[in-house]
Amino acid sequence: MPLFSRRAAEPTPLDGVDTVLADLDGVVYAGAGPIPHAVDSVTRAREDRTLGYITNNASRTDASVASHLTELGLPTAAHEVVTSPQAAMRLLAQRVAPGSTILVVGGEGLVVEVEKAGFVVTRSADDTPAAVVQGFAPEVGWTQLAEAAFALKLPEEEGGIPWIATNTDWTIPQSRGVAPGNGTLVSAVHTAIGRLATVAGKPEVPIFEEAVARFGAQQPLFLGDRLDTDILGANRAGIASALVLTGIDRPKHVLAASPDSQPRFILGDLRELHEPYPRVIVENGVATVRGARVAIDGPDVRIVSPGDRPIDLLRAGAAAIWSTGRAIFGFRVPEELYADPFHRP
């Protein structure tokens, strides 16, 4: 795995990268405000490479997201934003006839994409929709969820209509804290009808394929704050990934990451995109990252040396645990290893 490579030099995570693909919530902003150091770091990253954004948030249009980024000091055009509703339209076009009536559960960001794709929007199951498309919006409530359940009461294998969810993120980082995401709303409909939705956004591959094609990326790097959607999706798509600890997932989640959701880079914040990334050496059950050393001793994870930076200790701890191929619950982990001094929303 590249995380354990033993190169003589210490390049930055951006070395050799031609396109940076960044998640938004928890990476660039939390709610309306920017995350500390994000704007300056992203601005610097785009000086020598293409920059695009990938978001599972279906509540806003690509144009409104671009406007928000521009207001934060990141001049952005609408085409530089790839949204989960856009990925959902790709799936929808494969499942229903052009011009079909679609029951939409969500807000403006989803409605606009459905209409741009040539479909007719309805909010009522009584209009015999050809499919249901569901995405997050703050205004989604019981009435919209109930209409989806009514339209989806017949399983698809028994002649029922398709159900496509833009994404199933359980949470959304906001300036006031962490709020429920679209996954909770999709789960409510699932609980009512016993069906599973087809998911268009992260961690599924289509949204990444759309971004790579749109920006002509040859050596992309994806920046995310969630292991279960951002990093898992990038890994599935064969894209190098960096987890930044400014959003949802915390050090304890990093240590417990499954093999398919382990990032190539672990960053405390986006300033570290521009810093040399230290070599991670694993020998005889001991992981070393600069001055930080963590050993595996049977069921115990032992801190041999904490080093000078908490991020290096976390990197060493993750490398030591990941190298065993064993699940985190098989270890006794010292509290210092999953301490959380990093910024979060």
The beta-strand segments (E) located in the chain are 19-22, 29-30, 33-34, 50-55, 81-83, 101-105, 120-122, 131-134, 163-165, 171-174, 177-180, 198-199, 220-224, 240-244, 265-267, 280-283, 286-289, 292-297, 300-306
Strand partners, 6: none
CB 162, CB 198: distance < 8 Å: yes
Who contacts 145 (Cβ-Cβ below 8 Å, separation ≥6)? 105, 185, 188, 189, 192
CA distance 88 to 167: 9
DSSP H or E segment with residue 203: none
CB 24, CB 53: distance < 8 Å: yes
Q: Burial level of 58, CB count in 10 A (0-12/13-18/19+)? A: buried
Active site residues: 23, 25
Who contacts 226 (Cβ-Cβ below 8 Å, separation ≥6)? 23, 26, 169, 247, 248, 249
Residue 75: CB atoms within 10 Å: 12
Two tokens, residue 322: 């990941």
CB 130, CB 124: distance < 8 Å: no
Q: Kindly state the DSSP code that residue 256 receives in the 8-state scheme.
A: T
Who contacts 300 (Cβ-Cβ below 8 Å, separation ≥6)? 331, 332
- How close are the terminal C-alpha atoms of the chain, in Å? 30
Helix (DSSP H) and strand (DSSP E) numbers for the chain: 10, 19
Q: Can the peptide bond before residue 203 be classed as cis, meaning omega within 30 degrees of 0?
A: yes
